[in-house]
Structure 1
Amino acid sequence: MGNQIVESYIENKSIYEVLAIKVKDLLEELINDEGINVHHITCRAKDVEKLDGKLKRKNNKYSNIEEITDLAGIRIITFFEDDVDKIADIIEREYEVDRKNSIDKRALESEKFGYMSLHYVASLTKQRLRLTENKKFKGKKFEIQVRSILQHSWAEIEHDIGYKGEFAIPSFAKRSFSRIAALLEIADIEFIRLRNQLQEYGENVSENLDKNSESILLDKISLLELVKSNPDIDDIEKSVAKQLNWSYDKSFSFSDNLVEHNLKRISKNPELNITNIKQIQINLKKYKKEIIKSAVSNEEKATEGKSIGLVNGAAISYLIEFLEK
């Protein structure tokens, strides 16, 4: 039976390859729509040699190819552990989940060894299978693995060392494995806490930009929040773009990288005497006309009259250039 399954898989492997890609692409779109940032999403169809090895290990327990649930596989690696549950909600909503063959390895007992990962076995819903292009996927299942980047690191290292499971580990090494597993779990928790603190800080900065900005020190978050909302920045950039006949779209922005660059410039020029957000706000308002005039002149010389686009956050660069004169 094993040889028949392998032969059947060789004939149908291209279908599983397309299925894996199709599921991956849809998941990427759905995850982006939810505003979840992940490290990466990959997919694959199982290697024929690995399938053959699996059948031999399982003593040919499968009677047909459709009983094998991991011929198409998708792996999602998140930055944060709590995003695993958010992605799980998407999978449960969008696919037909095989509860019997799915497993949440994060629920392992604390004294057991092994990486924590969420494994779904699923198939396309009846609604999706009605589509002509999906009819070939009827009866075919796929596996989706979801885990954080730290959980993934554990899995990869554990695989490289060659020990999987508590009973495979020599007794003298169990203590070290326990310490590493605990450290990774703590790190996952601390990264989530840090992310939440930074988000809360950003919200507080946004609320206080017009109230108590002299108490807001310069950093990436505070400067980004200022770029997003300051009307003088918007006025300067729109005016410069208009006079140079450049395209300008505030929603299309590289301000994140630009902010980092400007922070470095400010830190290397203590004579600018800029240490908090209030000082930037004052200078932008006080020298708005002069900044625009200087920026237009400098850009005309630098670009030789070429029509290009202006990125959101450029006004901070123009301010620094003006103050440096």
Structure 2
Amino acid sequence: MTEQEFLKRWEQEKPVYQAWADFIKYTIEQTLKTSIAPTQLDYFLKVPVKPRLKLDSTLVDKAFYRKQYANPYDDVTDKVGMRFVVLLTSDIKKVCQIIEAPENKLFWDASKDRDYEAERLEKPLEFSYQSVHFVLRATKGNKFSGIEILENTSCEVQIRTLLQHAHSELTHDTLYKPKTVAQPGVKRTVAKSMALIEATDEFFEQAMQDIAKAIKPQNDILDLLKDRYQANIHQNVGEEPSNQLLVDTYFELLPENPIADISAFLDKVGYIYPKIKQYREIRHIFSQPAILLIYYLASHSPARTVEMWPLDRDDLNLVFSDLGIKLPD
């Protein structure tokens, strides 16, 4: 195949490769939304995912000059690609699980082109570039945005942490300069940066585990309040930071077994639900599940609830009025 033949075929198939990459992005992101909540996707992905086609000149350079391929067109697997950048190595695994999920084998054959964990085990004393690379090849019968995806169309998907991404951006221009990278000073500096990245990632993971353990009691309460709100008031439940603010503010007032006590209280005061439905359209805090906690607290610790109240007093007036309790001075 000549360069001209290569580029002619590439020009014809660019829309197919773009549609294939768009389909992969859509599939992975939709699955992530169901597992981490739709509103949290932008937080989970630290860099927007943008499928990119290789430039014609870059593709020719790789296919005919930088490497020797028996079949240049089919053997270049990254004619289109994208990367998922996340915070922690444990987040990398979440994306990998989606790619390798049995149900997605209907759409693609996934081969792991590179795996930083496997490399680290194989070379424990070497600190080198880290990332997970998959090549996803389309199975027969895929179609997206009105475009038929040719069987075996490939797309490279990279998954890295934010620190790995920073390292990659720093060293990318040297990847094709082996003499530069081979210099002892350069190798030592790059190795030190990778060692620091690995250590920092381990600290991040431990910090996240410690934080998750510390806030579990508050999150358990919020989960209960959210379930009750959706079951009795509205499916569209607010998840703004004011929920955590209220739970944190009043956590010290709660009994030893708050889940059972709050549940029992909410079972007895079903009459408050229609009132909250009315207020939620005009008072923001009544669209948040934590408002149910305030009804509980107003009933059990009215004076302290007023004393510690961090928001608009008018909202608290409504809560006390609904319960038939006089608002303490």
TM-score category of the 2 structures, normalised to the smaller one: 0.5 to 0.7
Give 1:168's aligned residue: 180
- 1:144 matched to 2:157? The reply is yes
The alpha-carbon distance between structure 1 residues 248 and 168, as it changes in their structure 2 partners (threshold 3 A), is farther
The alpha-carbon distance between structure 1 residues 103 and 224, as it changes in their structure 2 partners (threshold 3 A), is closer
Q: What residue identity is the alignment partner of 2:82? A: I
Q: How does 1:243-282 map to 2 (within 5 A)?
A: 248-249=233-234, 252-262=236-246, 266=249, 275-278=252-255
- 1:315 matched to 2:329? The reply is no
Deviations 1:230-261 (A, max 9, x none): 69x95xx79xxxxxxxx932x53334512343
Instruction: Report the alpha carbon displacement of residue 124 of structure 1 after superposing the two structures with TM.
Output: 1.8
Q: What residue identity is the alignment partner of 1:275? A: E
The alpha-carbon distance between structure 1 residues 314 and 140, as it changes in their structure 2 partners (threshold 3 A), is same
Q: 181, 184, 191: which is aligned to 2:194?
A: 181
The alpha-carbon distance between structure 1 residues 309 and 124, as it changes in their structure 2 partners (threshold 3 A), is farther
In the superposition, the TM-score normalised over structure 2's length comes to 0.65
Instruction: Report the alpha carbon displacement of residue 21 of structure 1 after superposing the two structures with TM.
Output: 0.1
The alpha-carbon distance between structure 1 residues 226 and 98, as it changes in their structure 2 partners (threshold 3 A), is closer
The alpha-carbon distance between structure 1 residues 224 and 252, as it changes in their structure 2 partners (threshold 3 A), is farther
CA contact (8 A) 1:248 1:309 kept: no
The alpha-carbon distance between structure 1 residues 131 and 20, as it changes in their structure 2 partners (threshold 3 A), is closer
Whole-angstrom distance in 1 between the partners of 2:284 and 2:66: 66
In the superposition, the TM-score normalised over structure 1's length comes to 0.66
Whole-angstrom distance in 2 between the partners of 1:55 and 1:184: 33
Whole-angstrom distance in 1 between the partners of 2:225 and 2:36: 25
Q: What residue identity is the alignment partner of 1:45? A: L
Q: 103, 108, 114: which is aligned to 1:103?
A: 114
- Higher mean C-alpha deviation, range 19-28 or range 313-322: 313-322
Give 1:80's aligned residue: 88
CA contact (8 A) 1:224 1:259 kept: no
SS at match of 1:42: coil
The alpha-carbon distance between structure 1 residues 248 and 110, as it changes in their structure 2 partners (threshold 3 A), is same
Instruction: Report the alpha carbon displacement of residue 183 of structure 1 after superposing the two structures with TM.
Output: 1.8
- 1:192 matched to 2:205? The reply is yes
The alpha-carbon distance between structure 1 residues 87 and 227, as it changes in their structure 2 partners (threshold 3 A), is closer
The alpha-carbon distance between structure 1 residues 166 and 182, as it changes in their structure 2 partners (threshold 3 A), is farther
Give 2:16's aligned residue: 15
Whole-angstrom distance in 1 between the partners of 2:80 and 2:31: 19
- Identity of counterpart residues, as a percentage? 18
SS at match of 2:77: coil
Whole-angstrom distance in 2 between the partners of 1:307 and 1:114: 50
SS at match of 1:253: coil
Instruction: Report the alpha carbon displacement of residue 323 of structure 1 after superposing the two structures with TM.
Output: 0.9
Q: 218, 228, 246: which is aligned to 1:223?
A: 218
The alpha-carbon distance between structure 1 residues 146 and 307, as it changes in their structure 2 partners (threshold 3 A), is closer
Give 2:54's aligned residue: 46
CA contact (8 A) 2:116 2:131 kept: yes
CA contact (8 A) 1:223 1:277 kept: no
CA contact (8 A) 2:132 2:159 kept: yes
Whole-angstrom distance in 2 between the partners of 1:186 and 1:315: 43
Whole-angstrom distance in 2 between the partners of 1:257 and 1:88: 30
